Chain A
Amino acid sequence: MPSEVLSAAPAATARPGAPARHLIEVVGVEKIFGDVATGHRALEAINILIEEKEFFTLLGPSGCGKTTLLRMIAGFEHPTTGEIWLQGKDVASLPPRERPVNMVFQNYALFPHLTVSQNVAFGLEMLRWKKADITARVQETLSLVKLAHFANRKPAQLSGGQQQRVALARALAPRPQVLLLDEPLSALDLKLRKEMQFELKRLQRETGITFILVTHDQEEALAMSDRIAVMNTGRVQQIGTPEEIYDHPTNRFVADFIGEANLIPGESLGRRADAIIAVRPEKIEIARPGVTPRISGVVDVATFLGSDTLMEITIPGGRLRARIRGAAKLPQGTEVGLVWETEAERELLD
């Protein structure tokens, strides 16, 4: 294919003498908006390593700094202190156009006065590709996102999902090293969002490009990511695979933010007073007669959900939610003993 030999996005050259390491290294990054002494500290002590061909997600509530970090990798923001290495080159102070990184913006930011194919061709024209190569690459990218028939439409003539695909095509056309996605699915309705989740996974597999996704939706993050960095108040709380983050949260925030978790004070279980024990509702079972329960409580509400029953149970020092398999016919006020496997619980110390 002729376009293969073309220079794609400006290639970052390796740092002399340094071993090839990770695709992206965010090292000790801090960002303060406004005055260094009094300004708003948006990011603190961020250290993240991202590998090639990885689907990496920055997950956190709004205002946690995830978008700032993404915009920093894109080059729209610059760290107050710290380094951002891309393919062994420090890019922290480079403008966006000198980074082999493209972005899918939150509201897509498709150029409204240009057609779909002109939008997709834009980056290639800026890189001064040859006309014939641009035409070929635009067609190739549009068929990749299944929009080949819409080349001559204006963005306003497309549905939200189609605009999303154009934004993806526009960002993928220059063959970037990294694709950044800023809440790309937030403007779509639920059904389309599920569809686009698969679509994004497919595109990532087919192109072999590293994707970095920003989202506040933990389900989305769990479904799509190879690894997730959970962020809160400008700090990384935990980095790991979806399974690690779900099953082994390292602190209270992660346990609470990802899925649902019961945070039981250590005292109630006869443990250290400063510890908090996290247990997922679906891991809790009702103790059979003769089994010593870990904790006892009184059924407050039991809601039958079809495949299982959601129970709210009052325990000493708090409340607890348990998802019991099947229909547990326990009326309000019933005293129950509760058990769970030792592997199912996490002791958190903060």
Chain B
Amino acid sequence: MATTMQTAARRKIRPFDWRHNPGFGIFSLIVMGFLYLPLAILVIYSFNANRFVTVWTGFSLHWFSRVANNGDIRHAAWVSVLVGVLATICSTAIAIAAALGFERGGRFKGEAAANSLVMMPLVVPEIVTAITTLIFFSSIGFHYGVLNLVLAHTVFCVPFAMLPIQARLNTIGTAYEDAGRDLYGGEWRIFMRITLPLMVPGIMAGAILAFVTSLDDFLISFMVSSAGTTTLPVYVYGMMRLGVTPEVNAISTILLVISAALALVAFLISRPNEAGAAASAATPAATATT
């Protein structure tokens, strides 16, 4: 009896799973290594006491203090943050309007084409956008320093800001707004009292994505920035031409940590949460009783 049961258990067919393919583990490890080993090395060496990037002598925060005390770097960081914040505000505002238009405006002629146009910056080679932006600004004689950067960044940040907002609006659905209309709400009050509060996680995620994208951008900033409006990535590139110094490692580490932290926050708040789950309101809380 016991033996038959054991055979039965052994014969139980496992459903197909990619993880059981030979070499899956090794392959994954190699991919992860390629992706993250260089980052790890960069971060580790930013704490190196030695002046040479490749020779480890001991732990030190020396290069971070050098970075912090470098006026040029501080100015570049300030420009980056200023441009990032302004471009985030502008692009998120545009993205909210666009997402509402696509998700709530009803079907309109050329909707798919319009959506593709908004998403275009995601697929157009950045160098093309960078050069055309540069040519555009100089041909109309638009030279207003930081404003140029803000405008250029706003344009390519819109799709990043719009994706999570649009996804959120789609998840919310129109039932809440219909309930608001049924309960004598005008469109504006429904938007302020219902739609906008429910959109907040999507808006936050979109804004953070836009900010990170702006902060990390090099090519477009490189083309558009002028003396005095150098962003941090452009400044780092300038330093690199004189050789990779430990300061570059330190700046990169700072940028990496900020970007990763913001991306993590964006991921956490755009995750399906309580509000999203309540859309399928039939799921009762386990603790509640009638």
Which residues of A are in contact with B by a Cβ distance under 8 Å? Answer: 9-10, 74-76, 95-97, 101-103, 105, 107-113, 122-123, 126-127, 154-163, 170-171, 174, 187, 192
Contacts and interface: CB of A to CB of B under 8 A. Distances in A.
A157 B285 contact: yes
A163 B284 contact: yes
Given A109-B178, A159-B289, 4 more contacts: A107-B279, A162-B290, A163-B284, A171-B182
B178 A112 contact: no
A198 to B, nearest CB: 13
Contacts of A10: 184
Interface in B47-103: none
Contact of B278 (A9, A112, A171, A174): A112
A111 B184 contact: no
B183 interface: yes
Contacts of A154: 274
A107 B194 CA distance: 17
A110 B278 contact: yes
B123 interface: no
A161 B197 contact: no
B181 interface: yes
A159 to B, nearest CB: 4
A109 B179 contact: yes
Contacts of B180: 111, 122, 126
Contacts of A162: 284, 288, 290
A156 B274 contact: yes
A9 B179 contact: no
Given A107-B280, A111-B194, A159 B181 contact: no
Nearest to B172: A112
Contacts of A108: 281
Given A108-B281, A126-B189, A158-B285, A76 B178 contact: yes
A110 B176 CA distance: 7
Interface in B254-290: 274-275, 277-285, 287-290
Contact of B275 (A107, A113, A159): A113
B288 A96 contact: no
Q: Which of A110, A111, A123, A187 has the most CB of B within 10 A?
A: A111
Interface in B132-180: 175-176, 178-180
16 contacts: A76-B181, A76-B182, A97-B182, A97-B183, A107-B175, A107-B281, A109-B281, A110-B179, A111-B176, A112-B275, A126-B185, A126-B186, A159-B288, A162-B284, A171-B182, A187-B282
A203 to B, nearest CB: 16
Nearest to A110: B281
Given A112-B278, A156-B274, A159-B288, A126 B184 contact: yes
Given A109-B176, A111-B179, A156 B278 contact: yes
8 closest pairs, A vs B, by CB? Answer: A123-B183, A112-B278, A159-B284, A187-B282, A109-B175, A126-B184, A109-B179, A159-B288
A108 B281 CA distance: 7
B198 A97 contact: no
Nearest to A146: B290
B187 to A, nearest CB: 9
A155 B183 contact: no
B281 A159 contact: no
Contacts of B193: 122
A158 B183 contact: no
Contacts of B290: 159, 161-162, 192
Given A155-B278, A158-B288, A113 B197 contact: yes
B12 to A, nearest CB: 33
B42 to A, nearest CB: 42
Given A96-B181, A97-B184, A111-B179, A158 B275 contact: no
A74 B182 contact: yes
B281 A122 contact: no
A9 B182 CA distance: 11
Contacts of A122: 180, 183, 185, 193
Contact of B184 (A105, A123, A192): A123
A102 B184 CA distance: 9
Nearest to B275: A112
A109 B198 CA distance: 13
Contacts of A123: 183-184
Nearest to A163: B281
Contacts of A110: 179, 278, 281
A103 B290 CA distance: 22
A123 B182 CA distance: 8
B157 to A, nearest CB: 27
A113 B198 contact: yes
A123 B189 CA distance: 11
A161 B185 CA distance: 26
Nearest to A158: B288
A161 B288 CA distance: 10
A76 B177 CA distance: 11
B284 A160 contact: yes
Contacts of A97: 181-186
B178 to A, nearest CB: 6
Contact of B284 (A75, A101, A158): A158
A95 B181 CA distance: 8
Nearest to A195: B290
Contacts of A171: 182-183
A310 B274 CA distance: 49
A282 B284 CA distance: 40
A97 B184 CA distance: 4
Q: Which of B178, B275, B281, B288 has the most CB of A within 10 A?
A: B281
